[in-house]
Structures are given as structure tokens and as C-alpha cells.
Amino acid sequence: MNTSAYLKAVVEQTNTLASWVDGRDAIAPVPTCPKWTLADLVDHVGSVQRMVTMLVGERMTEPSRAYAGYVPGPTDPTQWRAWLTDGAAEAEQAFASVSDDTPVWDPSGAGAGVPFWSRRLFGEACVHRADAAAALGTRYELEPEPAVAAVEDWLDTMTSRGYWENRPDFADAMRGSGQTLHFHATDASGEWLARREADRVVLEHTHTEADVVVSGPASELLLVLSRRRPLRKAPTLNVQGDRALLDLWIEHMDWVTDG
């Protein structure tokens, strides 16, 4: 997916989320994010999209002004739908106004802010729509190819140099001596090998043997890797090898879910 395709998908995912939460109970708990209510979830999705719109639209190479420009969500749930859909539309317009090589702050450390944020907003929308589904008792579905793209976003962001450097707890837990985890989508083209080194996690796209292999539908991989569904409740996933290594990995995939 390119930047334009990601933003089109962000609008689609956000519009679906907006239709689900429209007028619903603001204090409904979000089981997949135990510290959040539905109002917190809506606020997070809409405010992050607006922050990224500022970053990209104003070509910011440093994020403090975007953080300071935080826009809280409406307290009235009947206003949530318009607030979310408007925010996604504004984000799409902001990305359409720049090119992929426009200098924009990139927290991953890769120095490609526009592509990073286009994919990051897409991944956010997919995962947080799963949160809304859990809160509202709605069935969550995501087609295999976009699910692969969302898994790619999650894994690539979590294994980025910027994440390692800014989350010492994650770095300490993930330091290793070459232990490998292989994630394999069986319903679309998507394979990832994560290798734990002393100073980073190396992510490769390859089919190979590993200490633990997890295979199954891409959407199920996304939900389990992002801690939106416990592995024990994902019967379509097949796990072979060192289960303890996988459990440790999932235990530290706590970005976002802690609120």
C-alpha cells in the first residue's frame, strides 16, 4: 500500500468505527484497554489523527507543537461520529498536500515521516476498531490484505530503533542472543522473522525456521500480536516451538493497550 491507499483505508476504517460508537454509552469499558472507557477510545483515535494532521500538514520536524495542540473529543456521544469522520478526512487532505520525501518528524528513527505516519494511522484505525468491537460486542472483521498491512505496521513500529530507544522496559525485555520468532499469515502474503539481538530486534520478511512459529489468518495474527485477543482464544492460530518465547513477546506488546 502507498501513502494514498493508506489514507483512503484510514478514512474507511474510521468511518466504520464512527458508525459503531455514534451515540453509545461514553463510560462503557473497553476490555482490550482496561484503563479506557469508550469516551477515552474515541478521544484517542480522533486526537491522534488531528495531531498527525498537524505534523504532516505543517511539515513539522519536531513534535512539541503538535502535542501542545491536542484537541479533546466531544463529551456528547452524539457528536462523536462527525468528529471522527471529519478528523480522518482532514488527515487525508493533509497527506495529499505533501510528498513522501517531505521532511516530517519520524519517531521510528528511519527519517521517512510521511510514509511512517500514513501507515501508522492505518494501523491505529484497524487496532482501535477492534477495541470498539470488544467494547460494544460487535463482530470484528478485517480482510486478509489490509490485516497483513496492519501486522506489518505493528511489528515494524515495535521493532524500530526509535521504539527501542524510547521504551527501555521493552528493550530490556527483548534483549537476546539470536532467539527467533516467525509470524506467518496463511490467507495473504505476509511473513515476518523477528530476531532478538543484544541491541535491537531485527525484523526480516522471510520464510525460514525459527525458535517459535505462529501461523494463521492475518486478522487473527493482528489481534493476538496487538494483545486484542488472548492466544488461548485464537484457535485458528497454529503455534509450533518455544511457547515461552512467544508468551514473553506478547507480554511486552503493551504499547497502546495500557492507555
pLDDT at 258: 40
Digit-coded pLDDT (tens) for 149-192 = 999 999 999 999 999 998 898 999 999 999 999 999 999 999 99
Q: What residue type is assigned to position 230 of the chain? A: P
- Nearest-angstrom CA–CA distance, 250 and 66: 31
Rounded average pLDDT over 56-78: 94
Digit-coded pLDDT (tens) for 3-21 = 999 999 999 999 999 999 9
Q: Are 90 and 50 in contact (CB under 8 A)?
A: yes
Rounded average pLDDT over 186-205: 97
pLDDT at 256: 46
* Sheet hosting strand 190-196, strand order edge to edge: 201-204, 190-196, 179-185, 212-216, 238-241
The model carries a pTM of: 0.94
Q: Please state the separation of Cα 50 from the chain's center in Å.
A: 16
Q: Are 33 and 254 in contact (CB under 8 A)?
A: no
pLDDT at 254: 78
Percent of the chain with pLDDT over 70: 98
Rounded average pLDDT over 11-39: 97
Residue 197: pLDDT band (50, 70, 90) is very high
Rounded average pLDDT over 62-90: 95
Residue 101: pLDDT band (50, 70, 90) is very high
In sequence order, the β-bridge partners of residue 241 are 212
59 has pLDDT over 80 = yes
Mean pLDDT of the residues in the chain = 95
Rounded average pLDDT over 94-118: 96
**DSSP per-residue codes, 103-158:** ----TTSSS-HHHHHHHHHHHHHHHHHHHHHHHHTPPP---HHHHHHHHHHHHHHH
253 has pLDDT over 90 = no
146 has pLDDT over 50 = yes
pLDDT at 114: 97
**3-state secondary structure labels for all residues of 48-67:** HHHHHHHHHHCCCCCCHHHH
